[in-house]
Amino acid sequence: MGSDSTALGRRADDAPIYRTVQSRILALLRSGELRPGHILSVMQCARACGVSRAGVRQAFDLLEHEGRIARIARKGYIVVGARRGRIHPTALLPFVFPDLPIAVEPSWKRIYNEVERAVATGMLFRSLRVTEEGLARHFAVSRTVVREALLQLSANGLISKDRAGHWTVEKVTPATLRNLYELRWLLEPSALIDSAPRVPKDAIDAIWRRLKTTIAHFRQASSADLDRIEQDLHNTLVEQCRNKPLLRVLGQTRLLIIATRHIFDGYPSISQAYSKQSALEHLQVVERVRAGDYAGAGEALADHLHKSLDHWIRRLENIALVAEPPMPDFLLTPPNE
């Protein structure tokens, strides 16, 4: 399981972290900033780069194998060529990595989107169980990485643990939808009314422009475009709400937004008509926010959420008519299904 992307993470350019650390040190050797006799500390290097000590150790091991540095007892590593009698620690690390920190993408993010898509699609057809072992095997990652991804899925309301401690996915049914939308009807308009006055005007104007552009060119809109306008209304415009417990409860309804995105990707003909109507409803909310009519925006949002439930139920009825897609090996049917 010990692949580069599991224990050590990767940079945004997809280079393993230890390779990036190694290349930085080689560059410093070539430039002369790092010279024979300098002492390298794993901990100092890790702190300077903002990466794990495991990644730095692997970089140092490679440099040692190449004969560029050598281990010295209780001191770390020394750049080869120094006379041992003159060895002393040197405060060089601030100069070794001047563009600190090295940007690292958490390993769980590398698998999250694919897992989310599989779960959000599968839950439209049946209840499922997610296995940690199956995920680790499927993606060749550690169980630690898998657990971090599963915790994020749980925070987004896509999975939960049953009494036996298994991660489960509840099938989306009309009853599920009504329960989630009831929470949103009760809470989200209040969150919007409290939050919207705190959202910067330029951010509101940008949301309005994106929405107008998406509606004007709706046939060309991608799932990313639609997801962005969903995030604009249901996240950006409400996230400044001062009632944080309320926002945490709303977070458990995010599966509605997430699943909508994946329905558009997988079943665009089912989703398109409802999505354009939804965008027009968004516009009514945003224009009221833009005008400073926050109470009116809350009413428009409540109306939009009531209509959205009807849209969702119709989507679900149409999806029931299509063939169930094959499920990946980390999604299993629970024994009682």
pLDDT of residue 271: 65
Same structural domain, 202 and 282: yes
Is the residue at 162 inside a domain?
A: yes
Mean pLDDT value across residues 30-53: 81
Same structural domain, 162 and 178: no
State which of 96, 121, 142 marks the end of a domain. 96
pLDDT of residue 299: 98
Same structural domain, 166 and 180: no
pLDDT in tens, 116-129: 999 999 999 999 99
pLDDT band at 274 (very low <50, low <70, confident <90, very high): low
State which of 118, 153, 170 marks the end of a domain. 170
Q: Whole-structure pTM over 0.75, yes or no?
A: no
Same structural domain, 13 and 145: no
The CATH number linked to 273 is 1.20.120.530
pLDDT band at 7 (very low <50, low <70, confident <90, very high): very low
Is the residue at 59 inside a domain?
A: yes
By C-alpha distance, which of 103, 110, 107, 109 is closest to 50?
103
pLDDT band at 160 (very low <50, low <70, confident <90, very high): very high
pLDDT of residue 273: 63
Same structural domain, 116 and 72: no
249-251-254 Cα angle (round to 5): 130
The CATH number linked to 78 is 1.10.10.10
Is the residue at 115 inside a domain?
A: yes
- pLDDT at 269 > cutoff 60: yes
State which of 51, 67, 96 marks the end of a domain. 96
Same structural domain, 166 and 178: no
Structural domain for 247, as ranges: 174-319
Number of domains comprising the chain: 3
Q: Quick check: 226 and 275 in contact, CB under 8 A?
A: yes
- pLDDT at 260 > cutoff 70: yes
Is the residue at 325 inside a domain?
A: no
Cα 57 to Cα 42: distance, rounded to the nearest angstrom: 6
By C-alpha distance, which of 78, 53, 44 is closest to 63?
78
Same structural domain, 202 and 269: yes
pLDDT in tens, 296-332: 999 999 999 999 999 899 889 988 888 898 999 999 9
Is the residue at 203 inside a domain?
A: yes
Q: Map residue 142 onto helix, strand or coil.
A: coil
Higher pLDDT, 15 or 176: 176
Same structural domain, 154 and 190: no
